[in-house]
Amino acid sequence: MIYELKKTDNYPDNYWLVYEQGSVDPLDLRQCKIIKINNPLLFKVEKKVSEKRLLSFDFYRCCGFIIISPRLANLLANNKDFLKDVQLLDANVIINGQNHSGFKALNILRMLSCIDLDKSDSEPILDYLPDGPKYFNKIVFKEEVIENFYMARSLEYKSCIVISDKLKQFFIENNIKGIDL
């Protein structure tokens, strides 16, 4: 069984991370190819926040990037099968003027055909390109996705990130915060 990776609704708006600097464009991440960087990507929380509460999350909201905590990065760095599907890019986060290292930005390397287009509800993003990119109002996954994977981008809708049942269980067992399971 597969699941959509969805960030939790109880994530405060003032905890959003803003991309400050780096050599990666968020659109590069949709290519599912290895990215080489020389320096960590830099993100910033623009408002004064509770550092302790913010750092209690493992997944962070950021436009175009999936940022994970140092704790989750350490847990995933030891999983060779996960690392076949996802590249961990070094990232630093500035919180209340303090630079924090050890964060990672996820670069998903695997693409998976997993959305049942007949049962899902979608519409073209551009009216004049009816067979072009689509926006999905409702996603229904295919019943039997046979591929062995941990995390992937949907081939049909690149904004949709899916995780396997084994990764979901891993997140539950390790009390991962910041996503809906």
Q: Which of 58, 65, 64 is nearest to 102 (CA)?
A: 58
pLDDT tens sequence across 16-48: 999 998 889 888 898 999 999 999 999 999 999
Residue 9 has pLDDT above 90, yes or no: no
Note the pTM of the prediction, 2 decimals.
0.90
Residue 104 has pLDDT above 90, yes or no: yes
What's the rounded Cα separation, in Å, for the pair 16 and 6? 15
At residue 179 the predicted structure's pLDDT band, cuts being 50, 70 and 90, is very high
Residue 173 has what pLDDT?
Answer: 96
Residue 21 has what pLDDT?
Answer: 85
Phi and psi based region of residue 22 (left: phi greater than 0; alpha: psi -120 to 50; beta: remaining): left
Q: Where are the domains of the chain?
A: 2-109
Residue 168 has pLDDT above 80, yes or no: yes
pLDDT tens sequence across 71-84: 999 999 989 999 99
Query: Other C-beta atoms within 10 Å of 163: how many?
Result: 21
Average pLDDT, the chain: 92
| CA 72 to each of CA 119, 121, 170: distance values in angstroms, whole numbers, following the listed order | 34, 34, 11
> Mean pLDDT across the stretch 131-155?
88
